[in-house]
Amino acid sequence: MSQFSVSKLLDSEIVLVRDVVCSGACRHRSDEECTHATHLVFPYRGVFVRHVGRDDTVAESNQVLFFNPYEGYQVSHPVPGGDACLDLRLSEETLQELVPAELLRAGTVAFLTQRRRIDPRAQSLVALLRYSLRRGVAEPLEAETLALTLVRRALGERTSHAAGASVGRRKLVDRAKLVMASDLARRWTLAEIAREVGVSPVYLTQVFAQVEAVPLYRYQLRLRLARALDLLGDCDELTQLGLELGFSSHSHFSAAFRQAYGRTPAEFQRSLDLR
């Protein structure tokens, strides 16, 4: 059985949208592969690591990853459970209009970096686009507009963030991400995460904020909330969902969700008729 499942959700002159689910069977590095066009990949479930030469990137729901044409890469799954991503391929003309020139290699539509951190609004747009297309409730014009809005926000100077600091510090932060991803519902303490990655708690908080420009605890919260976005489509018991994701109560879950996405989990379900 193939470890990949690919569902084409939209194929228009402007954008191709696919839902890609991977079982994560390949724990170690895969064989090298490449794409033939530029892809923007939005992980929304699970985690994997993408290797481009000596540059490694942890792919999870706080990130958008850039797959450049004919650039070799490998993938590994150090955390079991597999992953799922929303994959967007836009026409070259559309990319040239949408992408700020400073993010691209000169004269091409290839990105200079592997990824950018996205904000909660972009996460909700990923869920909105995916749910709308899978349920057939979005007409092509609406879906195309949503896709362009998502890309614009995921690349915006004020709505996204490029990783800062040195390669060594980014690798340290990636190790901390893998620790949190290994048990998303666990109420990790700072000391536990720092011990897992082999540094002091103070140093970890400083480096994490330097690389991701948000505190470590908020980053973990956004991972949990993104998982909630993924699960809301098949959830009838919101209180139980919140508890399973590590929230102390339904009110805690609902308040955190609303602060991030502008509506409660129940309101989000109703907006897409997910119940």
Q: List, in sequence order, the alpha helices (H) in the chain.
A: 92-98, 120-134, 140-155, 167-181, 190-197, 201-212, 216-231, 238-244, 250-261, 265-272
Alpha carbons within 13 angstroms on the beta-carbon side of residue 149 total 14
The pLDDT of residue 1:
39
Tens of pLDDT along 177-187? 999 999 999 99
Identify which of 235, 233, 231, 224 has the alpha carbon closest to the alpha carbon of residue 257: 224
The pLDDT of residue 196:
96
The pLDDT of residue 20:
97
Query: Which distant-in-sequence residues (6+ apart) come within 8 Å of 242 by Cβ?
Result: 228, 249, 250, 252, 253, 254, 265
Spatial distance between the Cα atoms of 171 and 241, rounded to a whole number of angstroms: 32
The pLDDT of residue 27:
82
Structure-block tokens of residue 75: 């993938």
Task: Return the percent helix, strand and coil in the chain, to nearest 5.
Answer: 45, 25, 35
Sign of CA dihedral 252, 211, 44, 129: positive
Q: What is the pTM of this model?
A: 0.95
The pLDDT of residue 274:
56
The pLDDT of residue 216:
96
Residues in the chain: 275
All residue ranges of the chain with pLDDT < 70 are 1-2, 274-275
The pLDDT of residue 275:
41
Do residues 188 and 247 make contact, with C-beta atoms less than 8 angstroms apart? no
